Structure 1
Amino acid sequence: MRSTKRTRKRITMQNDAMKQGDQGYARTADALLRESQFERLVHAIKDYAIYLLDQEGHIVSWNTGAERFKGYAASEIIGRHFSCLYTEEDRNAGLPARALAIASEQGRYEVEGLRVRKDGSQFWASIVIDPVLDDKGVLIGYAKVARDLTEKKAAEQALFESEQRFRLLVHGIRDYAIYMLDPNGYVTDWNVGAKLIHGYHSDEITGRHFSCFYMQEDRDRGEPERSLAIALQQNTFQEEGWRVRKDGSRFWACIVIDPIYSETGKLIGFAKVTRDFTERRRAQEELDRQKDILSHTQKLEAIGRITGGVAHDFNNLLTIISSAADLLGIAGLTAEKRSKYVQIIADTAGRAALLTQQLLAFAREQPLHPEAFDIASRVQGLKHVIEMTVGAGVNVNVALPADLWPIHADASQFETAVLNLVINARDAMSAGGTLDIGARNATSLPSLHRDVGDAGIAGDFVALTIRDTGCGIAPALIDQIFEPFFTTKEVNKGTGLGLSQVYGFAKQSGGEVSVESEVGNGTSFTLYLPCAKAAIRSTTSKAIADTPKTVASTHVLLVEDNELVGEFAQTVLSEVGHYVTWVVDGEAALDVLETQRSRYDLVLSDVVMPGINGIELGKEIRRRWPDLRVVLSSGYSQALVHESDHGFEFLQKPYTLDRLLAVIR
């Protein structure tokens, strides 16, 4: 029995021992499996060299990554000391041993440096060495991980060298101040050009706000802050203006400010480029001054030519008038001759008046009386006069489309302009030729270099073209043909005022005149005049027809500050039976009317007078006594030119007796 029990116990112990043995075997198998998987994982890594060293630094394992970029197969390197991977200089310096010592003492060693491949070539590597300890904490070796950084290091080096070259370039620039600002506008970098232009050394200006370069008044207005704000809003800021150097002197600067952002889009500051344009500005100012001098000289030349032309023509006219007046003083002169000389004086005075009007037309200072009319019918009405003017040797073709828009201009001045262009064409075709007159609707004025300020205006216009087949105009003379008294014709063959009248009329009417010409192939003038609105009609001028000299007596209040004109008007009106009271200014006229309004049927007033002018007087009379007629008279008045006659009847000076009586009618 006792034996049976002992046998059972032994069998049980054997069974327990077998069970325990099976479990230990299972644990060992799992560990081996895990180690095998880890080893396969390590050996599969190709971008990192991962290997083990024993306590002395001999290589005991070698993965695929180590083999790939160090060049050794596992069979060639395992067992060798890892110092063979170092450069000769590092081995002589004891760097391998020191690396293991640091890893053992500090628990980690990390560095970047040059290493050597099997073929002797060097590469830049990132190295990490960790100590490997057993379960009891005893050092049994080292784990070493290395990565080839050659390409990355080369890229970093290239970037560094590029940045260095760029920095040297920027700091070597002397003609431009190039510097950096932080996001708040404080200087962080400063090149040589900035020192030369602004006067500050780098250590003097770095950390200071860039507003110190601005004028005090600009700082007070917040210009520095505004420039940075605009740079942020528009991604750039550019301007020219005065800036201040370190010594307080001013210079004219061209400034560009651009915001600088990081790769993530964060504002890191501003790049500021400044250039000293002081000398260029002075040169431009000197050039402008010379241009002004030249322009002034040209104006003086033109004034001299105008003065000479006016003096020449008026002297001729005055000679005729003076001679006719002398002849009238001869005793016993027959009535026929007396009438002849009077007519000569009257005709010559008319030519003098026409000369004055042409000068005013060129100066755009003549009073115009615009109205809406049709160009086609007006030109057709002139066709007979045109044909008579050019003579039988010139064939006249008038082709005007039926759909032309009506224009708004002074009809009388328009006809004068057309005839002046026709006469100019006739003189260019001394051997005969063809004169073509055509027109078209246009939606803008041409762009002319002669008068840029008036050119290129959009709107509705009618363009009337007069083209001849004459001798043409030399290119060098094109810019002068509209100047008064400039003419290429022979002496006494023209006044040089015809084209001036055309030019002045076109400009004052809100239009333009252009010319195209080729020597030997004729000339084409195109007159552009503004279209009329549907409601525009002639309202500012009253037609004054010739009337008989004997009219019903009228009480006239004459307001004239010129003694000769006032005495003449009073005398001739009195001679034909009118009652005239003559005062010399507007204030006196109002005083007379205040007490004697009922006496007067008409107020005839000059426009240009001391004190209140004729227009102001007329308005005041219209306000106080709206039923009293007012007629304005002037030879020239800026008020009439720029303000119009405000609906008052107008009598142009110089006037004849017939014209004066026609107003009184």
Structure 2
Amino acid sequence: MTDLDQTGERALVAQVVDYAIYGLDTGGHVSSWNAGARLLQGWDAEEVVGRSLSTFYTPEDRAAGLPGRLLARAREEGSVRDAGWRVRKDGSRFWADVVITALHDDTGTLIGYGEVTRELSDERAANLELEASEELFRLLVEQVVDYAIIGLDVSGRITTWNAGAASLKGWSTDEAVGQHFSLLYPEADRAAGLPEELLARAAADGRAEHRGWRVRKDGSRFWGDIVITAVHDGSGRPTGYTKVTRDLTEQQRLEEARTSFLAGISHDFRTPLTAIRGFAQVLTRTPDDERGRDLAQRIVANAERLSGMVDQLVAHTRLRAGAVRIDPRPLDLAVLARDVASELEAALDDHQVRVAEAGPAVALADEAAMRRVLQNLLGNAVAYSPPGTVIEVTVGPVAGEPRVRAEVADRGRGIDPEDVEVVLGEYERGRRGEADGGTGLGLAVVRQLLELQGGCVALRPREGGGTVVEVRLPVA
């Protein structure tokens, strides 16, 4: 190397400010000091040259002989790396990453050492914070008792088991870890391949949710709500799954009791209602008593209204209990709409239902469920529209989506704009319908039935007055 090269190299080292770079003689005393060392450690070159390397170490490290050990290792191994606390001129400390390299002349004789020091205080603080956060999260997961939280490897074998899992399922951590998670399922579900199906869904979609019976160590069962989530490393490679289970046995029992109760109520109501309606219809045919016929017709109308309310309660309860089974098949919405309108002809009063086709509308849907949806929507349109008005049903494709739609438009009083979302909830009628009576379940049942089929429902005001209810379903 020429003198010019050596001069340029020394100038480069001297001016580096992101790293403290300095030379040490064979005894470990500072022989050179760059700008980065001055900025990081606080001493000027004139103050520090000739000082021992131990000047930059904490009293504890000096007492333990760390500076001498590091020089000895560098001498024996060529270089040594260390991370730890170092001391500035003002006595403050910083976390440093240090590399000490032994320097030799052309004959191999040791002539000193070079040390490069980089401050890592911010990185250390971030790592400590991350470690503390991870430890807190680990303790939180381990000690939660209201939820069973377990880890699974990619094959479905249990890798972690928290206190909630031990409390809910009965197995200790030692008993559970290493077992396949299918041991938590009833025999019928294992035979049907449900555990593997849930893992496959979680792997494909990121998560899988399921409710059903689960098994404890003692063989007893509980109704569990479970969510399985796929876990990936930083490169996106799958590393396993987390499974969170909540015991909903009491809620399930209450739901079943409510379903049973409403089924009984439905039967007990329908029997007298059928009798009342039958006798009233006989009275409507009395030729000489116009007043009596009018009263009888009112009795029939109210009996039918009450019967419809009972039907809504039962339908809602069955949906909440998960007792409604959906069988999606290709279904022509225009044909179904005309069929439902024909069935309801006697209840339409002076209204007309007009079905228009804006294009093919063959949905992948359950016929019984969609019949109920259209009955509810047409029934609402009749109830809230002036006599003699036309209720328009328009079916067709949804532009740019693999869906079809059915719109039911009336000329009624409309829905308050602030209630458009509210009225799709349970037992909600909106501000303009508070005095109408009824269960407030018609649109909730519509929404629930559509969601079961992968569909949705939305309401909007109709230009010129009234409401448009739009139903969307997957195209067949």
Fold agreement, TM-score > 0.5:
yes
* Residue 347 (structure 1) shift: 10
The 1:477–1:304 alpha-carbon spacing in structure 2 relative to 1, beyond 3 Å, is farther
The 1:478–1:34 alpha-carbon spacing in structure 2 relative to 1, beyond 3 Å, is closer
* Residue 303 (structure 1) shift: 5.6
For the residue of structure 2 that corresponds to 1:246, the secondary structure is coil
Out of 380, 387, 393, the position equivalent to 1:465 is: 387
Alignment partner, residue 497 of structure 1: none
Structure 1: 5+ residue runs without aligned partners? 1-29, 318-345, 364-404, 422-437, 445-450, 468-473, 480-665
Alignment partner, residue 210 of structure 1: 181
* Residue 74 (structure 1) shift: 1.0
For the residue of structure 1 that corresponds to 2:46, the secondary structure is helix
The 1:439–1:120 alpha-carbon spacing in structure 2 relative to 1, beyond 3 Å, is same
Out of 151, 172, 184, the position equivalent to 2:155 is: 184
Out of 238, 244, 247, the position equivalent to 1:276 is: 247
Mean CA deviation greater in 113-122 or 194-203: 194-203
What amino acid is the match of 1:465? P
* Residue 306 (structure 1) shift: 6.2
* Residue 138 (structure 1) shift: 2.1
Alignment partner, residue 490 of structure 1: none
- Matches of residues 546-625 of structure 1 in structure 2 within 5 Å? none
Rounded to whole Å, the distance in 1 between the matches of 2:435 and 2:265 is: 21
For the residue of structure 1 that corresponds to 2:86, the secondary structure is strand
Rounded to whole Å, the distance in 1 between the matches of 2:435 and 2:274 is: 23
For the residue of structure 1 that corresponds to 2:30, the secondary structure is coil
Out of 103, 112, 118, the position equivalent to 2:83 is: 112
The 1:464–1:153 alpha-carbon spacing in structure 2 relative to 1, beyond 3 Å, is closer
For the residue of structure 2 that corresponds to 1:185, the secondary structure is coil
For the residue of structure 1 that corresponds to 2:32, the secondary structure is coil
The 1:478–1:105 alpha-carbon spacing in structure 2 relative to 1, beyond 3 Å, is closer
Q: Determine if the alignment matches structure 1 residue 147 to structure 2 residue 69.
A: no
- Matches of residues 127-142 of structure 1 in structure 2 within 5 Å? 127-142=98-113
Q: Determine if the alignment matches structure 1 residue 456 to structure 2 residue 377.
A: yes
Q: Determine if the alignment matches structure 1 residue 158 to structure 2 residue 80.
A: no
For the residue of structure 2 that corresponds to 1:228, the secondary structure is helix
Out of 10, 13, 27, the position equivalent to 1:39 is: 10
Q: Determine if the alignment matches structure 1 residue 80 to structure 2 residue 51.
A: yes
Deviation track 1:367-422 (CA, whole Å, cap 9, x = no partner) reads xxxxxxxxxxxxxxxxxxxxxxxxxxxxxxxxxxxxxx9x9979xx97xx99xx8x
What amino acid is the match of 1:123? F
Pairs aligned (count): 333
Tell me, yes or no, if the aligned pair for 2:150 and 2:242 is still in contact at 8 Å. yes
Q: Determine if the alignment matches structure 1 residue 63 to structure 2 residue 47.
A: no
The 1:51–1:476 alpha-carbon spacing in structure 2 relative to 1, beyond 3 Å, is closer
Tell me, yes or no, if the aligned pair for 2:352 and 2:388 is still in contact at 8 Å. no
The 1:79–1:442 alpha-carbon spacing in structure 2 relative to 1, beyond 3 Å, is same
Rounded to whole Å, the distance in 1 between the matches of 2:65 and 2:341 is: 105
Alignment partner, residue 243 of structure 1: 214
* Residue 45 (structure 1) shift: 2.1
Rounded to whole Å, the distance in 2 between the matches of 1:478 and 1:217 is: 42
Q: Determine if the alignment matches structure 1 residue 194 to structure 2 residue 116.
A: no
* Residue 453 (structure 1) shift: 7.8
* Residue 247 (structure 1) shift: 1.7
For the residue of structure 2 that corresponds to 1:456, the secondary structure is helix
Rounded to whole Å, the distance in 1 between the matches of 2:154 and 2:176 is: 16
Rounded to whole Å, the distance in 2 between the matches of 1:114 and 1:224 is: 52
* Residue 119 (structure 1) shift: 1.1
Structure 2: 5+ residue runs without aligned partners? 305-337, 357-371, 390-433, 440-476
Deviation track 1:39-71 (CA, whole Å, cap 9, x = no partner) reads 112113222211111121110011122112111
* Residue 276 (structure 1) shift: 1.0
Tell me, yes or no, if the aligned pair for 1:198 and 1:246 is still in contact at 8 Å. yes
Tell me, yes or no, if the aligned pair for 1:440 and 1:464 is still in contact at 8 Å. no
* Residue 136 (structure 1) shift: 2.3
Rounded to whole Å, the distance in 2 between the matches of 1:101 and 1:197 is: 58
* Residue 161 (structure 1) shift: 1.3
- Matches of residues 430-579 of structure 1 in structure 2 within 5 Å? 440-443=352-355, 454-456=375-377, 465=387
What amino acid is the match of 2:233? S
What amino acid is the match of 1:454? Q
Rounded to whole Å, the distance in 1 between the matches of 2:435 and 2:196 is: 54
The 1:457–1:224 alpha-carbon spacing in structure 2 relative to 1, beyond 3 Å, is farther
* Residue 452 (structure 1) shift: 6.7
Alignment partner, residue 20 of structure 1: none
Rounded to whole Å, the distance in 2 between the matches of 1:408 and 1:152 is: 71
For the residue of structure 2 that corresponds to 1:174, the secondary structure is coil
Deviation track 1:130-178 (CA, whole Å, cap 9, x = no partner) reads 2222222222222212111111111111111111222222223221112
Out of 174, 178, 190, the position equivalent to 2:145 is: 174
What amino acid is the match of 2:13? V
TM-score normalised by L of structure 2: 0.61
What amino acid is the match of 1:266? R
Out of 49, 56, 80, the position equivalent to 2:20 is: 49
What amino acid is the match of 1:212? L
Tell me, yes or no, if the aligned pair for 1:87 and 1:114 is still in contact at 8 Å. yes
Deviation track 1:217-275 (CA, whole Å, cap 9, x = no partner) reads 21122211111111122222111111111222111111111211222111111121111
Tell me, yes or no, if the aligned pair for 2:231 and 2:242 is still in contact at 8 Å. yes
Rounded to whole Å, the distance in 2 between the matches of 1:34 and 1:476 is: 96
Q: Determine if the alignment matches structure 1 residue 125 to structure 2 residue 96.
A: yes
The 1:148–1:212 alpha-carbon spacing in structure 2 relative to 1, beyond 3 Å, is same
What amino acid is the match of 2:140? L
Deviation track 1:457-508 (CA, whole Å, cap 9, x = no partner) reads 69xx9x99279xxxxxx968879xxxxxxxxxxxxxxxxxxxxxxxxxxxxx
* Residue 34 (structure 1) shift: 2.3
What amino acid is the match of 2:111? I
Q: C-alpha root-mean-square deviation of aligned residues, in Å?
A: 4.0
Alignment partner, residue 269 of structure 2: 298
- Matches of residues 352-391 of structure 1 in structure 2 within 5 Å? none
Tell me, yes or no, if the aligned pair for 1:50 and 1:144 is still in contact at 8 Å. yes
